[in-house]
Amino acid sequence: MKKLLFLALLLLIVPTVAGAASGNGATQLLEANYRAVEQMVASIPPSRALNKQKPIIVATVVNVDDLGGSRFGRMLSEQIGTRLTNLGYSVIELKLRDKIFVRQGVGELMLSREVRDISGSQKAQAVVVGTYAESVGGVYPGSSGSVYVTLKIVGVTDNVVISAYDYVLPLDANIRSLLYPIR
């Protein structure tokens, strides 16, 4: 009887917890970033196919207005690297390298004059770069704004964009806390 009661209770709780998890801003952000990576990878032309054995560098996604890093940009970069790794690509962990330009509180920045040197020393085939911009009065009903994100996979030997993807996120409390942390 206790097992039956426990099972019935479990069947009531699990859908509620799963529904709450899938509807929150943090999960939506993660899903949007994973989907962006999947779309970029899927749209790579066969002539530019990436070798899963050769490394890819993921630079910090930066604000288009000041190219500075934020927790939001660093989190996007982490999630992009995670999804690429989950898809079987070799991703270099920049935080463990001593020759990458890293500024406290900013992240791993890929300045154009450094990309060739860094990617050569790391034997990378491509770099994922990205920018974001926020707007007021968003495209989402009930949202106070939006964040527009652009991601690109760039070949390191020729600086040609191999694949790109744009998407829009609602500027909800979750994203706002990553853009403007309380100090």
Q: Which pLDDT tens digit goes with each residue over 74-99?
A: 999 999 999 999 999 999 887 655 54
Q: How confident is the model at residue 106 (pLDDT cuts 50, 70, 90)?
A: very low
Provide the pLDDT for residue 113: 47
Residue 122 has pLDDT above 80, yes or no: no
User: Which own/partner contact pairs does 35-40 have at CB distance under 8 Å and 24+ positions apart?
Assistant: 35/167, 36/80, 36/149, 36/151, 36/165, 36/167, 37/80, 37/83, 37/84, 37/87, 37/151, 38/83, 38/87, 39/165, 40/151, 40/153, 40/163, 40/164, 40/165
At the fourth CATH level, the homologous superfamily of domain 25-179 is ABC-type transport auxiliary lipoprotein component (3.40.50.10610)
- Phi first, then psi, for residue 55 (nearest 5°) are -70, 155
Alpha carbon distance 81, 83 (integer Å):
6
Residue 101 has pLDDT above 80, yes or no: no
Nearest residue to 167 via CA among 140, 142, 143: 140
Report the chain's terminal Cα–Cα distance, integer Å: 53
| Domain ranges (residues) in the chain | 25-179
Provide the pLDDT for residue 107: 41
Alpha carbon distance 165, 13 (integer Å):
37
For 5, the token pair is 């009661």
Provide the pLDDT for residue 14: 36
Q: What are 133-171's pLDDT values in tens digits? A: 988 765 555 557 899 999 999 998 888 999 999 999 988
Q: What are 130-142's pLDDT values in tens digits? A: 999 988 765 555 5
Q: For the chain, what is the mean pLDDT?
A: 77
